[in-house]
């Protein structure tokens, strides 16, 4: 009996091919758009997180408790070796490095500015952050010449220094004593992020530790995970370790979203505004479906009257309508998902450049070419919502058909 | 000597973390003097108030002075003491050098007018402190570079009003409220001074633009030092933070001495190390 219903429904759909195709096309278009847009959004978030994380913060950091807020020199990871030897045995960790940071007066022969000195391990740093790629003039740091520095392009301009010039750094050591050193400018970097370029100098970690009386302590251990999804796991390993061993001091493990809450907030905002757009789209589609089925109902009132008079139950009539609408919706969604996946896969391989946004994206350290990222999630969310909404919409005419009186219905549309 | 450069949030005084407690302290600080004060001596005009301040500053700085001070920086988890020798002439010129600990020996600060230079012997460089760094702490203490550089500001940029009197060890104490002239380049929105009739500064409270207490300088252990009564201990305390303060303990001080010509110059800043 069901197969008969399906057969009837299928024939009914193609009784007015133009209207049905238009409806299916609307549903397909909505699904296609949702699949592509969601893949695009997720893809750009992944790119954004990856780019931002590789400027400085990494996916995870181990710090002394309170260091992220107070940035006091004495809030150190006193024994980084204990943590880093553990990191080498966590397969989800793709790279790590350690850093020291101090606020100093940086003075050239002519000018003095406040600056942030970051001590980095040149060999490890290049695996974690893009500092090395940012070097525009001169060379990257080398442990063989510890007392040389990479200077931000804006800071170098402010200090009026170029390659080979001397910069005096004056600050406070970990023990509160005066820390001072002279470094040579080995390279000038430009990250595109003005704040970083305006106030940061990189020197090698051994020189930093020596100058600022750090011993073997560091301020941050920066970790890059092999996948965003592994971050919570790595964090848990480290937290268990820290909780178990007393020798670490009071340490915390922070993720990129805690270190840069702004990035996660802007992602959330983008998601919300995206969903508002999708909601409007889906509501329009829903009305078009509703319109189609109400038209069907008016057009076929006489037919339904005859069917009722012949003994068809109202329940079966409404089931017939539901099968019709479900078939159309499914057709539309399947076509949409297939086309959407094809389009997305194409751009996943080739990338998209939105003309004129290159400068803005560079400001945030993002590449010009963005790639959508097709995932089960981006396919399921959009098509699922379209499916549910259209099926709900189809319930109304299906319910209405039950209330038809055979005699009245047969007299309609004369 | 070194401006301790902490994080950027610290460039400005922060509101206390425990707000109600801070409010209470601020409230006490503001209202106590007003309530405990005897009816104010109305006979004193603003000019007199300014004179009291001027005489007090003359008294504790003298024409010229030299002193040796132990400065202790106290923080919840640690404490650090250094010994500093200083020379001053009038309100414009001063020079400080660190004698101990050995690691910091020879670091020196020169102030002329409102400009400051710092010298470090390890790298043998003199650095002028840029204006943007003047609000940073001096040597990691609770004194800012501005506290030193603008020490004459209280006389030049503020107008003074006597708001009451009090008593201390049987002597009369003038309570003076100092507010900045309009458009004056000042750090504080208001200062309140407690000056004893024998010119000794007992306390100085610093308020921000919203008239909230930021920090307080108090003096105690008044005794004969360098031929005059002088408080041996000075304490700079952040408002609302009982365990964060800086103590100055004067070990020696001499007033109205003859200082060599050219002592307040960049070349002498370098050559202090002996």
- The candidate with the shortest Cα–Cα distance to A278, out of A378, A352, A346, A375, is A378
Instruction: Look over chain B and give the mean of its residue pLDDT values, rounded to a whole number.
Output: 80
Q: What is the DSSP letter of A405?
A: -
pLDDT at A356 (0 to 100): 74
Give me the total of CB pairs closer than 8 Å, taking one residue from chain A and one from chain B: 78
The pLDDT value recorded for residue B28 is 41
Q: Is the backbone of residue B159 left (phi > 0), alpha (psi -120 to 50) or beta?
A: beta
SS3 A176: coil
Question: What per-residue confidence (pLDDT) applies to A59?
Answer: 93
Contacts of A193 (CB under 8 A, 6+ apart): A55, A363, A364, A365
Give the pLDDT score at A365: 64
Judged by CB atoms closer than 8 Å, whether chains meet at A176 and B78 is answered as yes
Is A113 in contact with B132 (Cβ distance < 8 A)? yes
Name which of A102, A176, A178 is nearest B120 (Cβ-Cβ). A178
**How far apart (Å, rounded) are the C-alpha atoms in residues A291 and A298?**
11
**pLDDT value of residue B168:** 86
Cα(A48)–Cα(A270) distance, integer angstroms: 12
Q: B127 and A170 in contact (C-beta within 8 Å)?
A: yes
Domain ranges of chain A: 2-53+263-411, 66-249
- How far is the alpha carbon of A56 from chain B, nearest alpha carbon, in Å? 17
Residue B37 pLDDT greater than 70, yes or no: no
Confidence check: pLDDT of B178 > 60: yes
Q: Chain A: nearest CA to B68, how far in angstroms?
A: 19
What span, in angstroms and rounded, lies between the C-alpha atoms of B29 and A244? 47
Give the up-direction half-sphere exposure of residue A18: CA atoms within 13 A in the CB hemisphere: 0
Q: Tell me, yes or no, if A140 comes closer than 8 A to chain B by beta carbon.
A: no
Mean pLDDT of B242-256: 90
CB contact under 8 A, A102 and B5: yes
Q: Is A66 on the interface with B (CB under 8 A)?
A: no
pLDDT at B185 over 90: no
Q: Do A177 and B104 touch (CB under 8 A)?
A: yes
| CA angle centred on B200, ends B197 and B201, rounded to 5° | 110
CATH code of residue B25 = 2.50.20.10
B106: nearest CA partner in chain A: A178
Quote the Cα angle for A225-A229-A233, to 5°.
70
Can you give the pTM of this predicted structure? 0.75
Task: Specify the residue for token string 């050995």.
Answer: B102
B130 Cβ contact partners less than 8 Å away, ≥ 6 residues apart: A105, A111, A112, A113, A114
Residue among B6, B78, B122 minimizing CB distance to A180: B122
Asked if residues B57 and B155 have their Cβ atoms less than 8 Å apart, the reply is: yes
C-alpha–C-alpha distance, residues A202 and A193, integer Å: 15
| B180 half-sphere exposure, CB direction, 13 A CA radius | 17
Q: Which of A74, A171, A180 to mutate to test the interface with B (most CBs of B within 10 A)?
A: A180
Residue A287 CA to chain centroid, in angstroms?
A: 32
List, for residues A60-100, the tens digit of each pLDDT value: 999 998 899 888 888 899 888 888 888 999 999 999 999 99
pLDDT of residue A26: 87
Cβ within 8 Å, pair B6-A72? yes
Rounded to the nearest 10 degrees, the angle between the axes of helix A261-299 and helix A376-400 is: 30
Q: Distance (Å) from the C-alpha of residue B157 to the closest C-alpha of chain A?
A: 27
Residues 6+ apart with CB under 8 A from B63: B89, B90, B255, B256
CB B64 within 8 A of CB B256: yes
Residue B206: domain span? 3-271
Residue A74 sits at the chain B interface (C-beta within 8 Å) = yes
Q: Which structure tokens are listed for B187?
A: 């750090």
DSSP 8-state secondary structure symbol assigned to residue A247: G
**Could you tell me if B192 and B37 are in contact, meaning their C-beta atoms sit under 8 angstroms apart?**
no
CA–CA separation, B188 and B274 (whole Å)? 38
Residue spans of chain A under pLDDT 70: 1-2, 245-249, 361-366, 413-414
Q: Which two tokens stand for residue A121?
A: 């391990």
Quote the CA–CA distance of B119 and B108 in Å, as a whole number. Answer: 5
Q: Residue range B80-105: average pLDDT?
A: 89
pLDDT of residue A56: 85
Average pLDDT for residues B231-251, to the nearest whole number?
91
ipTM for the whole complex: 0.74
Which residue in A201, A199, A139 sits closest to A164, CA to CA?
A: A139
Confidence of residue B39 (pLDDT cuts 50, 70, 90): very low
CB-based contact A114 B136, cutoff 8 Å = yes
Of A298, A310, A327, the residue nearest A9 (C-alpha): A327
The tally of domains found in chain B comes to 1
CB A152 within 8 A of CB A189: yes
Put simply, the answer to whether A114 touches B4 (Cβ < 8 Å) is no
Q: Taking CB atoms and an 8 Å limit, are B125 and A171 in contact across chains?
A: no
Q: Which of B248, B229, B213, B269 is nearest to B22 (CA)?
A: B213
Residue B260 predicted with pLDDT over 70: yes
Neighbouring residues of A122: CB distance < 8 A, sequence distance ≥ 6: A140, A141, A142, A143, A204
pLDDT at B8: 40
- Distance between CA atoms of A188 and A136, rounded to whole angstroms? 6
């Amino acid at each position: 009996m069901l197969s008969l219903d399906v057969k009837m429904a299928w024939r009914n759909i193609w009784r007015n091919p133009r209207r049905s195709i238009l409806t299916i096309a609307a549903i397909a278009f909505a699904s296609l758009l949702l699949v592509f847009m969601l893949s695009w959004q997720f893809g750009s978030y992944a790119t954004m997180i990856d780019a931002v994380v590789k400027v400085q913060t990494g996916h995870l950091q181990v710090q002394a408790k309170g260091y992220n807020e107070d940035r006091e020199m004495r809030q150190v990871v006193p024994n980084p070796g204990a943590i880093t030897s553990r990191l080498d045995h966590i397969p989800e960790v793709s790279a790590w490095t350690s850093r020291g940071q101090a606020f100093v007066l940086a003075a050239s022969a002519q000018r003095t500015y406040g600056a942030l000195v970051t001590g980095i391990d040149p060999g490890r740093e290049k695996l974690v952050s893009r500092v090395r790629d940012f070097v525009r003039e001169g060379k990257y740091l080398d442990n063989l010449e510890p007392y040389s520095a990479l200077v931000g392009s804006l800071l170098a301009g402010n200090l009026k220094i170029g390659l080979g010039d001397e910069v005096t750094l004056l600050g406070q050591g970990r023990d509160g004593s005066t820390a001072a050193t002279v470094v040579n400018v080995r390279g000038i970097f430009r990250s595109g992020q003005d704040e970083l370029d305006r106030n940061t100098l990189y020197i090698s970690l051994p020189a930093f530790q020596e100058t600022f009386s750090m011993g073997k302590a560091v301020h941050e251990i920066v970790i890059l995970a092999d996948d965003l999804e592994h971050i919570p796991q790595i964090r848990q390993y480290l937290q268990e370790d820290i909780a178990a061993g007393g020798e670490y001091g009071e340490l915390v493990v922070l993720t990129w979203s805690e270190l840069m809450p702004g990035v996660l907030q802007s992602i959330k905002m983008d998601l919300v505004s995206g969903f508002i757009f999708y909601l409007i789209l889906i509501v329009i589609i829903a009305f078009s479906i509703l319109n189609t089925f109400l038209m069907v109902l008016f057009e076929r009132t006489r037919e339904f009257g005859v069917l009722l008079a012949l003994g068809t139950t109202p329940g079966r009539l409404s089931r017939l309508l539901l099968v019709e609408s479900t078939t159309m919706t499914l057709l539309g969604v399947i076509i949409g998902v297939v086309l959407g996946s094809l389009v997305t896969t194409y751009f996943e391989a080739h990338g998209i450049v939105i003309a004129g946004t290159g400068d803005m994206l560079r400001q945030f350290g993002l590449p010009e070419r963005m790639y959508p990222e097709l995932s089960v999630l981006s396919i399921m969310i959009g098509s699922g919502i379209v499916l549910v909404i259209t099926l709900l919409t189809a319930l109304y005419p299906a319910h209405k058909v039950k209330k038809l009186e055979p005699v009245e219905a047969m007299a309609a549309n004369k | 000597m070194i401006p301790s450069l902490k994080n950027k949030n610290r460039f400005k005084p922060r509101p206390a973390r425990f707000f109600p407690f801070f409010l209470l302290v601020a409230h006490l600080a503001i209202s106590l003097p007003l309530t405990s004060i005897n009816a104010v001596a109305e006979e004193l005009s603003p000019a007199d108030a300014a004179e009291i301040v001027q005489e007090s500053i003359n008294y504790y700085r003298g024409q010229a002075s030299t002193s040796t001070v132990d400065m202790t920086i106290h923080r919840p988890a640690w404490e650090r003491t250094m010994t500093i020798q200083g020379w001053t002439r009038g309100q414009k010129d001063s020079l400080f050098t660190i004698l101990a600990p050995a690691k910091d020996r020879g670091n020196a600060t020169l102030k002329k007018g409102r400009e400051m230079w710092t010298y470090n012997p390890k790298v043998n460089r003199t650095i002028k402190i840029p204006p943007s760094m003047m609000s940073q702490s001096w040597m990691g203490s609770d004194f800012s570079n501005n506290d030193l550089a603008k020490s004459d500001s209280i006389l030049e940029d503020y107008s003074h009003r006597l708001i009451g009197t009090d008593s201390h060890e049987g002597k009369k104490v003038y309570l003076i409220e100092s507010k900045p002239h309009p458009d004056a380049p000042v750090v504080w929105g208001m200062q309140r001074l407690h000056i004893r009739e024998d010119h000794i500064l007992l306390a100085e409270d610093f308020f921000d633009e919203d008239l909230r207490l930021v920090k307080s300088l108090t003096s105690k252990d008044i005794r004969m030092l360098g031929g005059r009564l002088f408080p041996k201990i000075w304490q700079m305390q952040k408002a609302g933070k009982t365990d964060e303060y800086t103590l100055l303990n004067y070990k020696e001080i001499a007033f109205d001495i003859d200082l060599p010509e050219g002592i307040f110059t960049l070349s002498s800043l370098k050559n202090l190390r002996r």
